[in-house]
Amino acid sequence: ARAFTIAIDGPAASGKSSTARAVALELGLGYIDSGSIYRCATLLALRNKISDIDARHADLIGLISHSKFDIRILRNVWLNNEDVSKEIRCADVNRFVAEIARDAGVRAEVLKIQRSVAANAEKKSAAAADGTTPNGVVMDGRDIGSAVFPNAELKVYLDASAMARAIRRWDQMNSARNAQGKRSEEDGAQTEKPAYPTVEEIAREIEERDYADINRAHSPLRIAPDAVVIDNTNLTFEQQVHTISDLARERM
């Protein structure tokens, strides 16, 4: 069967990753979170103390070139055989990632990685498919429909109000914090409580990142002309997953 590609783009915290993952599961396609590739590149930059990316551009590109950058996106994200799933979501990475992603050289390297990761995921889904249903991938990000897979069979632009997105992100952090608090209580551990951001602080961080992503010169966040725009401010998770899966099935 031929490969079917679904591109899901949208601003920060619009629910792309969880939605894309659920759609992929429902349709038997592979799933790739392209933001995690930019986050891994950012983590490497931070670890190598690259703060001025113009001054150390060659070092930065070296770090993410093919031989040095072994990234596997499974349930967790593995960078050079290390599980970095948690670390790539930390505050330092959140603050720095849009600046790293603005760089044309970085984007060119990441593009190669995106295409090779997608080709692998496609092969895997083909092996699992029964021959009657299409194989392929769902990839989410900012420029998937406009730059990475301009020929994707289905392009979705997922949006929600800035406040709805901030509240969702805050809820996510809060439930992760509660789960952790319960665990350390059970261990009897005396852990120091880190400072958690307020909804307003998260909203500001999201808006700053969106601004940077929309206004950069190279493959900025845009609604592709042939994308289906879904505003999920007032949709349940199940509603948006079904809407996208149904759109895909109509085209398969």
Contact residues for ligand C5P, defined by CB under 6 A: 12, 34-35, 38-39, 97-98, 101, 141-144, 209, 213
Name the residue nearer to ligand C5P (CB basis): 143 or 159: 143
Give the span between the Cα atoms of 167 and 9, in whole angstroms.
20
In the complex, least distance from residue 191 CB atom to ligand C5P, rounded to whole angstroms: 27
The amino acid present at 66, given as its one-letter code, is H
Write down the least CB distance from residue 109 to ligand C5P, Å: 13
Nearer to ligand C5P, 90 or 193 (CB): 90
SS3 string, 131-170, reads: CCCCEEEEEEECCHHHHHCCCCCEEEEEECCHHHHHHHHH
Q: Which is nearer to ligand C5P, 61 or 252 (CB)?
A: 61
Nearer to ligand C5P, 47 or 249 (CB): 47
Question: Minimum distance from CB of 99 to ligand C5P (Å)?
Answer: 8
The tokens describing 227, both together, are 């994308």
Beta strand residue intervals within the chain, DSSP E? 3-9, 30-33, 71-73, 77-79, 82-83, 135-141, 154-159, 228-231
Least distance from C-beta 41 to ligand C5P, angstroms?
Answer: 9
CB of 10 to ligand C5P, least distance (A): 9
CA-CA-CA-CA torsion sign (233, 239, 241, 243): negative
Query: 199 in helix, strand or coil?
Result: helix
Residue 35 vs 134, nearer CB to ligand C5P: 35
